[in-house]
Amino acid sequence: MNIDKAKKRIAKQVSKGFKGYPMVSIAYFGVKPELATHVMVQFITEEGAAPQEQKLSSTVDARHDETIQTVIVKILERTQAVSVMEVAGVAPL
């Protein structure tokens, strides 16, 4: 999938805000604020349920990595998430 198309699909889901469960949360991590080398995607089926986590890593910025962004889109499709939340910025490792 094209990187721009994947990022647009993710952004569209995030812009809808919290609509209920199931929910997917996306957080980027890195050594520097301008370079996200790790991504954590959490899937929560219902309120109070333990999250299922998937960690992805990249040698380049994960926010611009076509493979990682495509995987995130596939996760959103597969889980049929009603809400998609994205943590702003890049958290330190």
Residue 81 confidence (pLDDT) above 90: yes
Contact 65, 58 (CB under 8 A): yes
Phi and psi for 25 in degrees, rounded to 5? -120, 135
The parent domain of residue 73 ranges over 3-45+56-92
- Average pLDDT, integer, range 1-7: 91
In a domain, 34, yes or no: yes
In a domain, 7, yes or no: yes
Of the CA atoms within 13 Å of residue 5, those in its CB half-sphere come to 6
In a domain, 30, yes or no: yes
pLDDT one-digit tens code per residue, 30-53:
999 999 999 999 999 999 999 999
Residue 57 confidence (pLDDT) above 90: yes
Residue 1 confidence (pLDDT) above 90: no
Residue 28 confidence (pLDDT) above 90: yes
The pLDDT value recorded for residue 93 is 86
- Please tell me the total number of residues recorded for the chain in this structure: 93
Q: How many degrees, rounded to 5, is the angle at CA 69 between CA 90 and CA 86?
A: 45
Phi and psi for 76 in degrees, rounded to 5? -60, -40
What global pTM score does this model have? 0.92
In a domain, 50, yes or no: no
Residue 79's SS3 state is: helix
How many structural domains comprise the chain? Answer: 1
